[in-house]
Structure 1
Amino acid sequence: MDTMRGKMEEELKKLDEKIADAEENLGESEVREAHLAKSLFYIRIGDKEKALEQLKVTETKTVAVGQKMDLVFHTLQLGFSYMDFNLISKSIEKAKSLFEEGGDWERNNRLKVYEGLFCMSTRNFEKAANLFLDSVSTFTSYEILPYDTFIFYTVVTSIVSLDRVSLKQKVVDAPEILAVIGKIPYLSELLNSLYECQYKLFFSAFAGLTEHIKMDQYLQPHFRYYMREVRTVVYSQFLESYKSVTVEAMAEAFGVTVEFIDLELSCLIAAGKLHCKIDKVAGVLETNQPDAKNALYQATIKQGDLLLNRIQNLSRAIEV
């Protein structure tokens, strides 16, 4: 530890000398580069507070919008290293405002990956999937994650976010995804078995992929939640085809026991995730798929009644 601290102090001394020399003898761009080098050194050794302070100093020496966005990307990398969501959120908003001032599309595409990663880390899988899919053909954010991992995140978020038609168009048939998906164990089997309704194969691939998800830095905190969301998607897809189906037939389709399906579905139905009911005596599942138009009509009626009540209360107050 003493040897390492000595090397760090020696390196910092060199960086300070470089900054002093640039301020005395060189131009503004050289001064900025010297301050940036010191910022990157603090990031490399994991000194979060000093790195943020030095990045702010570097920003005061920076004029170009693109270079300011690069500093925000360094801040975001630091935020993801410490999973500081407050810092990440503020940095993303700052980068968006800088882009409005005149940022380039390459940096904006990089920002989509960072924002998608933030959304995935905060359980906003739908927005994360859309951002990732927008960046599949323009991915250049290798400093935050490799392309294989990016495709993994794109597929796992899309599975719980997109409908079957969109999944086919944007993920299953996407050439960029097809070129990489085979490198990730079980991922291709999971995606294709879901689309092709091969539920036994899906559960087998799903079991194999759980270890990958459990070991992932960003998905691990949401492991149980994500597992439940995936099972909800696949059960819903199966039940959409039937008005009623026996529990035994469903268990056979998924390659599991009747007791397992009964326990799974009862929990998901109680949580409002599945629209069906279990006839335990007959051993039958009866689906009651929600009518979107009827739900919208009921919501409109309810909001209308609420508005009328407020108008009546306001008229009484005015009369008084």
Structure 2
Amino acid sequence: MGSDPQYIKYPDLTLAQHVFNLSNPACPQAVRQTSLKKLQDVISENKMAPFYRHLAHPVEGILNHSGEGVPQLPAKSLLTSNMLASRKSPQKIDFPWDESLYQSLVEDNRKELDAFQKEEDEAEEAAGETEVLAARGKRAEFWARVGDKDKAIESHEALLEKTTFLGTKIDLMLAMVRIGLFFGDTQFVKKSIERANTFIESGGDWDRRNRLKAYKGLHLVTVRSYNIAAPLLLDSLSTFTSYELCSYSSLVIYSILAGSLSLKRVDFKAKVVDAPEIKAILGPGEDRLAALTGEVSSGPGAQDEEMKDASVSRTTPATATTVVNLTTLGAGSGIPAETETPVDFSPLGNLVDSLYTGNYRSFFVALAAVEDNFLNQDRYLHEHRAWFVREMRLRAYQQLLQSYRVVGLNSMASDFGVTVDYLDRDLAKFIASNRIACTIDRVNGIIETNRPDDKNKQYADVVKHGDALITKLQKYGQAVRLRGSERS
């Protein structure tokens, strides 16, 4: 059960982010050009004929804007087009289609598949079941590498049926989760995680359990279940080894956002504001150095020798106050170690600090910066960015109003750095949907908080549900009597 994870190299989820960058109008032009070059290089290097066709084909390509062929996406591509930030990608960047290149990639793929088939036939004749499975495993990794979703899933499923080792089964399921994440198929990801969880519960080892925890957390972020995702992601900070899933800096971003939105104030302070792993990114110099060198930790796995060595490798002696360069920790995970692009975490730091200290004017400014720098630029966060901003505004309003019985409308607008009219309109939406228990008196210029008594609320709920139940029983009784009269 302690074997090294398998099938973790492909698909490369960073390629999906590059595709997202090309289709994202909010992404800087230079970043889109870099992503285009990276995609072209990796497609040629990994012989990704199916993926190249999916992106650039004049008729079927989801990034095609050359004017050739039919610009509409075919029906079968609608699901996989979830890789894009929007239905229409920017016209400034065109992913060129080269028929000769495509045919050469197809020929290279055919030769590889023939070699795999020959190896499998020889293994069936002269070797054992282990060698046969190894040959089939190469074919499964091949389809994941070249970007053919359907055949990658089919080959992984076929391999799963023949495999008897529990650890290998879990690795195959995690690979299928990544295939779903790569193509933006949330329903497939959900089903695959449930299946992987079944295998884990039947005896998965410590490392695979921690990997699945990170996988679950990221999936829940993509479907905006932040309240469930936050504990999983925050727990993964000290034991993270799933570098095939995302970078450590990305995990920090997802953890902070999920925790800031969903955790209660006490848990927010303990698990986000004061968490050593997060202080290593957002805290002052002394806290950051102590956390990076492993002197303090909130997780039991952070004292492991492997994690401590990796943490030391991330330490940068002359680190700027807000820009952090995190080096991938996956040296022993089968993923080649790469130096991450330095990330400016200051908007996140300002968001956490201003929310906890109640500096709401700075909070709104930080929230806007987080939207621009993180929500708009990440393929997992982009779809729900408007929802996240709205929920964070609601949290700030609730945090202020719960401390007072009556608040001046002008005073609250000044605290948030907005106009009275904007605050009135914004609060009205939350009041109408019963998200905030207060009333706005524009005549007197006050906001009055209504705190319903818990016992009275419970009584009102019982009466409300009781009335509904009685109504249903009466309708049921009438239906039964009618049927009885029909029989007579």
TM-score clears 0.5: yes
Contact 2:413 2:423 in 1 (8 A): yes
One-letter code aligned to 1:30 = E
**C-alpha distance 116-303 of structure 1, shift in aligned 2 (>3 A):** same
User: Which deviates the most, 100-109 or 39-48?
Assistant: 100-109
Instruction: Give 1:149 shift.
Output: 0.6
Structure 1 residues 102 and 40: alpha-carbon distance in aligned structure 2, compared to 1, 3 A threshold: same
Change (3 A) 1:109 1:236: same
Supply the distance in 2 between the matched residues of 1:135 and 1:282 (Cα, whole angstroms).
50
Does the CA contact (< 8 Å) of 1:28 and 1:61 recur in 2?
no
Pick one of 224, 229, 249 that aligns with 2:411: 249
| 40-49 or 23-32, larger mean C-alpha shift | 23-32
Q: CA deviation at 1:310?
A: 7.4
Return 252-261 or 289-298, whichever deviates more: 289-298
Identity of aligned residues (%): 39
Deviations 1:6-28 (A, max 9, x none): 22222222222222222222222
Question: 1:22 is matched with which residue: 102, 123, 126?
Answer: 123
Does 2:384 correspond to 1:283?
no
Find the counterpart in structure 1 of residue 401 from structure 2. 239
> What residue identity is the alignment partner of 2:357?
E
1:294, distance to aligned residue in structure 2 (A): 3.0
> Whose helix proportion is higher, 1 or 2?
1
C-alpha change, 1:315 and 1:258, in structure 2 (3 Å) is closer
Alpha carbons of structure 1 residues 268 and 301: separation in structure 2 relative to 1, 3 Å? closer
Equivalent-residue separation in structure 2 for 1:104 and 1:142 (angstroms): 18
Instruction: Tell me which of the two structures has the higher relative contact order, counting C-alpha pairs closer than 8 angstroms and 6 or more residues apart.
Output: 2
Aligned in 2, Cα 1:310/1:272: closer, same or farther, shift over 3 Å? Answer: closer
1:195 pairs with 2:296: no
Residues in 2 aligned to 1:5 and 1:308: alpha-carbon distance in whole angstroms: 67
| Change in 2 beyond 3 A, CA 1:25/1:290 | farther
Deviations 1:224-258 (A, max 9, x none): 11111010001111111211111111111112222
Q: Is 2:252 the partner of 1:90? A: no
Correspondence for 1:264: 426
Post-superposition Cα deviations, 1:110-136, rounded to whole Å, max 9, x if no partner, equal 112111222221121111112212322
Q: TM-score, normalised by structure 1?
A: 0.92
Shift of 1:42: 0.6
CA distance in 1, matches of 2:132, 2:173: 19
**Does 2:56 match 1:56?**
no
CA distance in 2, matches of 1:282, 1:313: 48
Distance 1:240 1:66, change over 3 A: same
Q: Where in structure 2 are there 5+ consecutive unaligned residues?
A: 1-101, 283-321, 325-344
Q: Does 1:214 align with 2:376?
A: yes
The 5 Å alignment of 1:1-320 reads 1-181=102-282, 183=324, 184-211=345-372, 212-304=374-466
Work out whether residues 269 and 277 of structure 1, in 8 Å CA contact, stay in contact via their aligned partners in 2: yes
| 1:200 alignment partner AA | R
The two structures have a TM-score, normalised by structure 2, of 0.61
| CA distance in 1: counterparts of 2:477 and 2:400, whole angstroms | 52
Uncovered stretches (5+) of structure 1, i.e. residues with no partner: none
Q: Is the 8 A contact 1:31 1:61 kept in 2?
A: no
3-state DSSP of counterpart to 1:137: coil
For 1:49 and 1:314, how far apart are their aligned partners in 2? 48
Deviations 1:23-52 (Å, cap 9, x if unpaired)?
222222222122111111111111011111
